[in-house]
Structure 1
Amino acid sequence: MDILIVEDEPEIAKLIQLTLEREGFACQWCRDGLTALQEFRQQQPDIILLDLMLPGLDGLEVCARIRQKPGAKDPYIMMLTARGEEIDRVIGLSTGADDYLVKPFSPAELVARVRALLRRSLRHSGQSLSHRTEHFTVDMDQHTATRNLNSDQPEALDLTTLEFNLLATFVSQPGRVWSRTQLIDKLWGDDFFGDERVVDTHVARLRKKIEPDPAKPTFVKTVIGVGYKFEDSAIA
């Protein structure tokens, strides 16, 4: 598994790199946002460890640009920052980050978080099902999702890995009410580290891509005080 470390402090970057390489990961390091985007396009890493405060483009902008154009791989992104305030965690997650690690952190915690991200990928890559509803088809083998709102040619959906897995979860059981805790368990399992509201962030991003009007959702409905429900007719 390839990891791109984006960190402007050489001492921290070296510690991260040595820690992960001892665990068998292949690591590359860069120290600013523009170089990070160039390295991402060339390497297509599986995970990006992304410092929030960077010279040039900051980590939030780098994360947002990668999510807009993920390339051949849609990497998992873990934000690294000295900021521990709740608002910063929310902002980081809202740009598409998958996890958030506050400095200073221990090498053991870093390795545990990285392995957790990779297990998320393996958990979903082992699935081999297709799910269909009246308006959506999710093919787990081909990792494709389509939407058909007008009975014409189905429209391919451009989803991140988490958005795809979230839609697959919804489409697999239309009508079921999912709590945030259940969605976290389904998508991340016991490996989850972070704020439960990351679910709300990814639901909002998914709505923007599948709903005719994201402000008035037709398919992904909020169940107040519980979580979310996907409403569409199932097709065997």
Structure 2
Amino acid sequence: MNKKELKILLIDDDTEILDLLSIILRSEGYEIHTAKNGREGLINAKLLKPHLIILDIMMPGMDGMETCFEIRNSKILKDTLVAFLTARGENYSEAAGLDVGADDYITKPIKPKVLLSRVKALLRRLETTETTNIRMSEYIMTRGDIVIDREKYLVYMHNEVIDLPKKEFELLSLLASKPDKVFSRAEILQEIWKNDLGVQVRTIDVHILKLRQKLGSNHFKTRKGVGYKFIE
């Protein structure tokens, strides 16, 4: 993810701190937004949906702990990272901050290199999550009431495992990869059987019949003279 796409919300009642943090983080290319108290910060957070919130603990009215608690209880902000700003000697323990959902602590007085290092480390978590989600989407297909796990060669229907032999599984995966596309018998033979000369067109028809018996005929439609398609 490009830095310019990463939004950071700074919440602090000290305008000098806000200005300092803004200058440091903008110099790295991040999109920066600010708020001067917890309530304003919470409103801005729900509007902006930032990737990271850097939040002062000691603020009048709604303090950082309460603000973090509200953030963590918001479905809109469930994936937002939160780092507390805390001065040495403050009476809040790190354990208490972690209990309300903080991801990290940044200690005052702020050192630019340390700040940037902690921010980069936090935002790398988003990259890891994004990569994992992409990888999962490559392996998992959900088509209506059918879930296909192409890595584990498993098919689920209504949360029950449907046992499919390898070729039936591969045929289902191929058809389901592009719902409503009609795959010709020639395409299917090439993709699934690699044009094995010993395999006849009738073999495809038999496999489709078995898939219909196991998953329901409503998921497979025959286009006469052409081939088959999967319907969600």
Structure 2 Cα separation of the partners of residues 32 and 85 of structure 1: 18
Residue in 2 that maps onto 1:47:
52
Match of 2:229 in 1: none
Paired with 1:72 and 1:96, the residues of 2 have a C-alpha distance of 12
State whether residues 45 and 73 of structure 1, in contact with CA within 8 Å, keep that contact through their aligned partners in structure 2: no
Tell me the residue number matched to 1:81: 86
> Could you say if the C-alpha distance between residues 65 and 15 of structure 1 is closer, same or farther in structure 2, counting changes exceeding 3 Å?
same
Q: What is the root-mean-square deviation of aligned Cα atoms in Å?
A: 2.6
TM-score normalized by the length of structure 2: 0.54
The answer (yes or no) to whether the contact 1:47–1:77 under 8 Å persists in 2 is yes
Contact 1:44 1:73 survives alignment (8 Å): no
SS in 2 for 1:29: strand
Given that residues 71 and 77 in structure 2 are in contact (C-alpha distance below 8 angstroms), is that contact kept between their aligned partners in structure 1?
A: no
Provide structure 1 residue ranges, at least 5 long, that are not aligned to the other structure. Answer: 132-138, 140-151, 155-236
Matched residue, 2:114: 109
Residues 1:99 and 2:107 are matched in the alignment:
no
Match of 2:136 in 1: 129
Tell me which structure has the larger Cα radius of gyration: 2
- Map of 1:13 onto structure 2: 18
In the aligned structure 1, how far is the partner of 2:69 from the partner of 2:51? 17
SS of residue matched to 1:39: helix
Q: Residues of 2 paired with 1:10 and 1:126: CA distance?
A: 37
2:109 is paired with a residue whose SS is coil
1:160-171 matched pairs, under 5 angstroms: none
> When the two structures are superposed, what TM-score results if normalisation uses the length of structure 1?
0.53
Shift of 1:129: 2.9
Residues 65-98 of structure 1 deviation map (CA, whole Å, 9 limit, x = unaligned): 1101140652100000114569611111110000
Q: Offset of 1:124 from its aligned partner?
A: 2.1
* Cα deviation 1:27-81 (Å, max 9, x = unaligned): 1111111101110111110000000011210000000011011406521000001
Structure 1 runs (4+) greater than 6 angstroms displaced: none
- Letter of the aligned partner of 1:101 in structure 2? I
Tell me the SS of whatever aligns to 2:76. Answer: coil
Q: Are residues 73 and 92 of structure 1, via their aligned partners in 2, closer, same or farther at CA, if it must alter by over 3 Å?
A: closer
Distance across 2 between alignment mates of 1:10 and 1:51: 12
Q: Comparing both structures, which one devotes a greater share of its residues to helix?
A: 2
Unpaired runs of at least 5, structure 2? 1-5, 140-146, 148-157, 161-232
Matched residue of 2:55: which SS?
strand
